[in-house]
Structure 1
Amino acid sequence: MLAATKSFRVDELTVQIYNNESEMAQDVAAIAQQYLQNVLQQKDTAAVLLATGNSQLKFLDALINLGGVDWSRIILFHLDEYLGISSDHAASFRRYLRELVEQRVHPKQFHYIEGDTLQPLAECDRYSKLLQAQSIDLCCLGVGENGHLAFNDPYVADFQDPYRVKLVKLDAINRQQQVNTGQFPSLENVPQYAFTVTLPVICAAKKIICLAPDKRKANIVKDILHGPINTKCPASILRQQNQATLFIDTNSASLLADISNY
């Protein structure tokens, strides 16, 4: 296991800094592996809520390659999906997770949000009932450049959201990020609406790991840790979760105040 170069707390949130994304991914994979092993020693199955995006690629690959997890006892969910694109679309989160995870580990179940449903409100209800029936043992997160968790963008995020899953309109920063990371060729191609699991469901997970590497996340990492806790930066809610850890690298930590003071 590769130890973090720095570990500290901001309010209730544990923060760990690594030299680079690769070292971070390897360590987080080992942490997740050990945690899932412990959960499966105590009960028959474990439920995991997965994120997508570039921040998850190395971590998920490392976790799978590490082995030692009985995936036949793991029930998987995912955090979000675009409205109106098929599961075979190049930017579909279902495709991402099917190819990167499901086809490699063959979990007990993988519950997908059906983004191309003809009845989106009924799909919100269906997925909400699945989540209501299953407590989440581990939630894996990334952070958007606007501070979103899943598709809880600043103007739709609600720390006391009454819904488990909802349909939201994506903001301009979020949609542009999808273009910048190569998910879509232009802004016009990015769907305007998406399904998202809400913040109370995320915060109810028994363990939360949030990965935010890369220089382009430096501004939002600074806002998460040094700004106010409010929905202008949805990920700031993590500072109230003592079961959560934010994993960053020296690039995404580059705008923090002198970390030697932590």
Structure 2
Amino acid sequence: MLDLGNLTASDDPVKKWKVDELSVLVYESPELMVKNVALSVQKYLQQCLIKQDTATVILATGNSQIKFLENLIKLGGLDWSKIVCFHLDEFLGISAQHPGSFRKYLQERVEKKVNLKAFHYLQGDTWEPISECDRYTQLLQAQPIDLCCLGIGENGHIAFNEPEVAQVNDPRWVKIVKLAETTVKQQVNGIYFSSIETVPNYAFTLTLPAICQSRKIVCLAAGKSKSSLIKSVLQNPRDLKFPASILRTQPQATLFIDQEAANYLYQPIL
């Protein structure tokens, strides 16, 4: 489990336990959850940079990450010039200027706000997608990955490892996948994509083996809309119907959730 640092009593998780190898922490509210994820990540990366010259981090996107990233940057205390970043996924065929691009999301929320050593992006609009998979794989494999940050999609995917394409022993670290219908619909919000027709059907994704080789993994989920999913991920038989359940095999992983997301779990929230 990640070191949570010196928290006040009101900041402590209301519940913590393990599901197989996965540490699970439940917080009273989404605000406390992201505050504590940011604090634990800050302290962990500080420890990494005491032991080594650089730290390598894979970042996620989506609504679950916005407040976490804001909190992490506001905390300070990190020498970002020693941190190298990657990201989990990107839509195929859109530019970095497209409002739905994950490159744009991370440039605005991270790269423009801190002085990073480097941010290696998946080039979604490349003319050679297979070569892009190879290029990004080589970059990822050039050093250990210290930290991977995750969210969980509505169908249980992590990155774009949809139930239909997720493989525990995938020989690839980066691949192109067709997006599930639920994932495509999830992108339509009138801000980034105006209709289903405007959402790309394919995307680049880091695979499950690429994610699981990270030295630390933190995953965030909050809100009532995630409660049924969290129950399935943690309490159903572990299989790729819910790809996020692979985290239950990872002792270096911690799942952070709020009480609403924990609502359907059998364990009482005391």
Match of 1:30 among 36, 39, 59: 39
Of all paired residues, the percent bearing the same amino acid is 56
- Is 2:77 the partner of 1:68? yes
Match of 1:211 in 2: 220
Provide the TM-score with structure 2 as the length reference: 0.94
Structure 1 residue runs of 5 or longer lacking an equivalent are: none
- Is 2:55 the partner of 1:46? yes
Per-residue deviation at 1:46? 0.3
Q: Is the deviation greater in 190-199 or in 215-224?
A: 215-224
**CA gap 1:183/1:255 in 2 versus in 1, 3 angstroms:** farther
- Is 2:185 the partner of 1:176? yes
Provide the TM-score with structure 1 as the length reference: 0.97
| Equivalences for residues 1-262 of structure 1 within 5 A | 1=7, 2-179=11-188, 183-260=192-269
Q: Secondary structure of the equivalent of 1:105?
A: coil
Q: Which amino acid is the alignment partner of residue 137 of structure 2? A: S
Give distance in 1, aligned partners of 2:269 and 2:177. 40
Per-residue deviation at 1:231? 1.0
**CA gap 1:93/1:252 in 2 versus in 1, 3 angstroms:** same
Per-residue deviation at 1:209? 0.3
**CA gap 1:58/1:260 in 2 versus in 1, 3 angstroms:** closer
Superposed CA deviations along residues 184-215 of structure 1, whole A, max 9, x for unmatched, are 22211110000000000101100000001111
Q: Is the deviation greater in 40-49 or in 129-138?
A: 129-138
Superposed CA deviations along residues 230-259 of structure 1, whole A, max 9, x for unmatched, are 111100000000000000001111111142
Give distance in 2, aligned partners of 1:98 and 1:219. 32
Give distance in 1, aligned partners of 2:216 and 2:70. 20
Q: Secondary structure of the equivalent of 1:104?
A: coil
Match of 2:4 in 1: none
Q: Which amino acid is the alignment partner of residue 146 of structure 2? A: D
Q: Secondary structure of the equivalent of 2:245?
A: helix
Per-residue deviation at 1:14? 0.4
Superposed CA deviations along residues 34-80 of structure 1, whole A, max 9, x for unmatched, are 00000000000000000000000010100000000100000000000
Give distance in 1, aligned partners of 2:107 and 2:203. 19
Q: CA RMSD, aligned part only?
A: 1.2
Q: Is the deviation greater in 185-194 or in 146-155?
A: 185-194
**CA gap 1:253/1:181 in 2 versus in 1, 3 angstroms:** farther
8 Å contact kept, 2:14–2:269: no
Q: Which amino acid is the alignment partner of residue 73 of structure 2? A: I
Per-residue deviation at 1:182? 5.1
Give distance in 1, aligned partners of 2:71 and 2:19. 27
Q: Secondary structure of the equivalent of 1:114?
A: coil
8 Å contact kept, 2:19–2:248: yes
Number of residue equivalences: 261
Per-residue deviation at 1:260? 5.0
Superposed CA deviations along residues 153-203 of structure 1, whole A, max 9, x for unmatched, are 000000100000000000001111112595422211110000000000101
Q: Secondary structure of the equivalent of 1:49?
A: strand
